[in-house]
Amino acid sequence: MSGVTWRVTEVVFDAASQHAGESLFALGNGYLGTRGSFEEGFPGDWPATFIHGVYDDVPIGHTELANVSNWLPFDLYVEGEHFSLDSGEVLNYQRELVLRQGLLSRTLRWRSPAGRTVDIAVERFVSLADAHLCAIRYQVVPLDFDGQIEWRAGLNGHVENRGVLHWDRLGQGAQSGIVWLRSRTRGTGIELGQAGRLKVTGAEDVTHFCLDCDGQPVAAARARAREGRAIVAEKTVAIFTSRETPDPCAAAIEKLQNLRGGYNDLRTAHLAEWEKYWAVSDAIIEGDDEVQRAVRFGLFHLLAAAPWEDKHVSLGPKALSGFAYRGHVFWDTEVFMLPFFTLTQPGLARNLLMYRYHTLPGARRKAAANGFAGAQYAWESADTGDEVTPTWVPRQNQRDPVRIWTGDLELHISSDVAFAVWQYWQATGDDSFMADYGAEIILDTAVFWSSRVEWNAEKSHYEITNVVGPDEYHDRINNNAFTNDLVRWHMETAQQVWRWLEQKHPARAAELADRLKLQTQTLARWAEVATRLCLPVDPSTGLLEQFEGYFHRRDVNLAEYEPRTVSMQALLGIEEVGKTQILKQPDVLMLFFMLRDRYDQCSLRANWDYYVPRTDHTYGSSLGPPVHALLACEIGEPEAAYRHFCRAAQADLGDVRGNTGDGIHAASAGGLWQAVVFGFGGLRLTPEGWSATPRPPAHWQRLAFRFYYRGKLEEVDWRRETQSK
């Protein structure tokens, strides 16, 4: 197994791309995520740590994950000279993220402005074995002098979310070598407690002391260094919030006081946990190291951010790696990320779906506010499930703001959630989840749709008007094919769930019937809507019209705009691109991605041939390439599949859209895994069982993955030499 495929390595630091590096080298443990900023800082950096569920109020966007006090600061002084990459001379440099182990390391040789040379090796992790612990090991070797080395390991409460301040500092101090910092969010009142300690080994005349700077308590140590001899400092930090304990600062201090062992012990436990998860979640590709690394990179960030213990939080499009989207939750989670967790870490998938169950009250409030029954999920959701999509946002360099319609009109999210619940149940057979939680989600969102559809007496069908489909270049449209057919599926599935619940869990069925006001005529209504809902399709070819009037919009040859480095929306403008047939991302084709068994090959081919040339593949949306890769496998176009797959694989490692600095593309990572497993791996899951017909690219030598089906761990392991015999 090639070690390079488990490592993301940087051998030259480029200040111009440091924000992308901070996202790429982010660490997480399912409780918190920390961007890959340097311990000593760098001019213009964006250091951030986000903790699941720690939201605070913000203008325009309603709420956002609040960047918590920075636990990273670890400053080195060599004979009084402060080490930083923008001073002195960097003689060599390497930064590396070891995906298999969740370790971030940096090694370099630095010559100070005064001419003293040191070798520096820094390694850090956020513990997967104990989610409240983070640790850094900092080794220094003087190469041409004897002298004084000093470390300052601090907690920095002076943090912001790109200009927005979220924290009031309640106190700080030091006791028995432990420094602590206590803060509280200004709007939501969530308390944060952090405590840190510093230990130095391998040196003579070590002196420990503390610095009580305002908002920045520091544990420091000064030691006598000898030429050629390594000195090691270990910083350990404990972090709690009032979401877990009433006195988080006391909990953090107590955690460090009771901690036995040092950095190596914590590291060993951390590595053991990562081994457990990779044993099931890895996808093995031999014969293509770059693609293998990209797949593992994406899976690492998904596993690092997924909430292992918390059933009241979920994953946003940037996981816990960046400021973009404010930590809000979209359809990205259920449609693109959840299948990976459902099949390899079903306990995690259950947690993510429990978030949707716990936010049902917010979904019901949204439906009621819009004049509908049932539960209407928010397009952007946070802690309560209420809609947090901004209505207007400032337009860059222009006076008039931009109207954002997705929160009002991108309604398919309610069926996306129901679809994810159904998928999880079919794959796991988790009847208790379906009876206690999942059925309520599917049924109450069906109640919403039943009240939202409109009867068109002239055409004798139901329709859904004034919506936004997955392709967000077109808004306020009628009868979006994706939305309508997903609702059709939803109405059919809700009937199946209700009948199952009545047969297997009659008491729960009676309770839900009373609370959700479900009656015999309710099921009849669902059946009628499913049968008579408008779906604009050419019966002779299977070609679906994306929405009413789409075929009459201006057709554009995208090749005429090449080469370019921005999206078509950026080139033409928001209003103008909406007048064309250009797509930001798959829309009709999402039906074939999600509901593959409902369509035949002829229909897929007709829609592929029409919509793929009209899609802005490179600069539209990162969600598109993995979808196209999977569907290209379905229609037997391996070269196209691999081309789209590589575009998805480079979403972050190649920073193809120039926005990796805002955070990694978590949904693209989940889609990439689906392209591997369902596309190239040909995995199919049915109520009768599973099958796999691998169809990997010609140069791949092996494709292997594991997954759980109905509680049993299964494996697909395809090898080219086996196939040739």
Is pLDDT of 722 > 90? Answer: no
Domain count, the chain: 2
Give the rounded percent of residues in the chain with a pLDDT score beyond 70: 99
Q: Are 55 and 80 contained in the same domain?
A: yes
Asked if residue 566 lies in contact with residue 573, where contact means CB atoms within 8 angstroms, the answer is no
Q: Are 198 and 314 contained in the same domain?
A: no
Considering the domain boundaries, does residue 520 fall inside one? no
Q: Are 53 and 162 contained in the same domain?
A: yes
pLDDT at 2: 56
Q: Are 48 and 157 contained in the same domain?
A: yes
Considering the domain boundaries, does residue 588 fall inside one? no
Q: Are 315 and 236 contained in the same domain?
A: no
Asked if residue 178 lies in contact with residue 219, where contact means CB atoms within 8 angstroms, the answer is yes
Q: Tokens standing for 118? A: 């040191």
* Residue 668 exposure: Cα atoms within 13 Å on the Cβ side: 29
DSSP state letter for 511:
H
pTM, two decimals, is 0.97
Considering the domain boundaries, does residue 440 fall inside one? no
Which is nearest to 608 in space by CA: 622, 625, 592?
592
Which is nearest to 182 in space by CA: 166, 165, 169, 196?
169
Q: Are 82 and 126 contained in the same domain?
A: yes
CATH of the domain at 10: 2.70.98.40
pLDDT at 204: 81
Rounded mean pLDDT of the chain? 96
Which is nearest to 515 in space by CA: 528, 526, 500, 501?
501
- Tokens 């819009």: give the residue: 370
pLDDT at 222: 96
Q: Are 165 and 293 contained in the same domain?
A: no
Domain end position, chosen among 277, 297, 332: 277
Q: Are 128 and 200 contained in the same domain?
A: yes
Q: Tokens standing for 119? A: 């070798």
Number of other residues whose CB lies within 10 A of the CB of residue 261: 10
What is the tens place of the pLDDT at every residue in 37-95?
999 999 999 999 999 999 999 999 999 999 999 999 999 999 999 999 999 999 999 99
Considering the domain boundaries, does residue 329 fall inside one? no
* CB-based burial label for 19 (10 Å; 0-12, 13-18, 19+): buried
Q: Are 318 and 246 contained in the same domain?
A: no
Read off the pLDDT band of 203 (50, 70, 90).
confident
CA 157/CA 544 separation, integer angstroms: 54
Q: Are 243 and 310 contained in the same domain?
A: no
What is the tens place of the pLDDT at every residue in 651-671?
999 999 999 999 999 999 999
Q: Respond yes or no: is residue 560 known to be catalytic.
A: no
Average pLDDT over every residue of 130-142: 98
Considering the domain boundaries, does residue 597 fall inside one? no
CA 216/CA 196 separation, integer angstroms: 11
Considering the domain boundaries, does residue 429 fall inside one? no
Is pLDDT of 1 > 50? Answer: no
Asked if residue 311 lies in contact with residue 354, where contact means CB atoms within 8 angstroms, the answer is yes
Considering the domain boundaries, does residue 377 fall inside one? no
Q: Are 147 and 36 contained in the same domain?
A: yes
What is the tens place of the pLDDT at every residue in 359-392?
999 999 999 999 999 999 999 999 999 999 999 9
Q: Are 193 and 316 contained in the same domain?
A: no
Domain encompassing residue 712: 286-322+619-725
Number of other residues whose CB lies within 10 A of the CB of residue 345: 20
Identify the active-site residue in 64, 234, 440, 472. 472
Asked if residue 672 lies in contact with residue 294, where contact means CB atoms within 8 angstroms, the answer is yes
Is pLDDT of 607 > 50? Answer: yes
CA 312/CA 314 separation, integer angstroms: 7
3-state helix, strand, coil in the chain (%, to 5): 40, 25, 35
What is the tens place of the pLDDT at every residue in 387-434?
999 999 987 776 789 999 999 999 999 999 999 999 999 999 999 999
Considering the domain boundaries, does residue 37 fall inside one? yes
